[in-house]
Structure 1
Amino acid sequence: MAEKRVLYSEQRPYLVADSLDELVGPTVGLVELPLRLDWSEQGTYNLDEPCELNLMYEVVLSEAMDVQDLRRYLNGPMLPVVWRRLFLPQRVRELWEVRFPELADAVGFLGL
């Protein structure tokens, strides 16, 4: 009998903010993430470009190990706008949607 394969993303601890109101990160301009969050070649994101904003949110949601990083780089009002367009580990999506059911219901905006 084959063993069930357990993915790292299913066991890894992920952070979830206590409130969307505490997320006061930028929504425009250039943002450089610290290496502890993004060790890729990109590192700097132009939030005026919707694809880059989405990518930065994916990185922060998946890699943050300190709630201060969530607060500093995510924006509470923007999160529901982009939520459905983010490629996230299933566990990250579930944890955030349990805490914030409005994300599960979010439709987003066509422009982002």
Structure 2
Amino acid sequence: MSVPDAGFDDAVLYRLKFARRLPTGLSELTGPMHGVVELPLHVVWSGLRAFDLDQPRQRMGLYRTVLAEGTREDLCGFLNAELLFSLWPVLRTLTGPSVRDVWEEAFPQLRERAAA
């Protein structure tokens, strides 16, 4: 009898962690499109916590951080569906494969946007 590959189990659990946080639809992402957003400590515990959405690099940093560390409530409250859709072709390259795959499987329009 073979022992299951622990790496595979870790990858499955990691993907499940992100899948459980997903909103049921992109329309639930009603966060701001402009201005300064301060993330709570449970999302970003060191470094920059306030992000100016009108600055492209800071906007990308906020989205990357919230996708990786945010709860479902954080995703819905800090991310905006329109911005996520516009950022996705680049943002998907800045996230880990688990985040990218989970979001693109749940929301095929993101995968289509990246391919366009």
Shorter-chain TM-score bucket reads: 0.7 to 0.9
Displacement of 1:5 in angstroms is 7.7
Q: Aligned partners of 2:79 and 2:73: how far apart in 1?
A: 10
In 1, distance between residues paired with 2:70 and 2:109? 21
Are positions 1:41 and 2:42 aligned together?
no
Q: Tell me the TM-score normalized by structure 2.
A: 0.80
Q: Identify which of 74, 91, 98 aligns with 1:69.
A: 74
Q: Which has the larger radius of gyration?
A: 2
What SS does the corresponding residue of 2:104 show, helix, strand or coil?
helix
Number of residue pairs the alignment of both structures matches: 105
Deviation at 1:103, TM superposition (A): 0.3
Alpha-carbon shift at residue 36 of structure 1 (Å): 0.2
Q: Find the residue that maps to 1:68 and give its secondary structure.
A: helix
* Secondary structure class of the residue paired with 2:48: coil
What's 2:38 paired with?
32
Q: What does the per-residue CA deviation read over 1:53-82, in whole Å, with 9 as the maximum and x for residues that have no partner?
A: 1110010011113x1111100001111100
- Pairwise CA RMSD: 2.3
Task: Return 5+ residue gaps in structure 1 as ranges.
Answer: 108-112
* Structure with more helix by fraction: 2
Question: What's the TM-score once normalised by structure 1's chain length?
Answer: 0.83
2:29 paired residue number: 23
User: Which residue number in structure 2 is paired with residue 110 of structure 1?
Assistant: none
- In structure 2, runs of 5+ residues without a counterpart are none
* SS in structure 2 at match of 1:77: helix
In the alignment, which of 54, 70, 90 is matched to residue 60 of structure 2? 54
Distance in structure 2 (CA, Å) of the matches to 1:5 and 1:58: 27
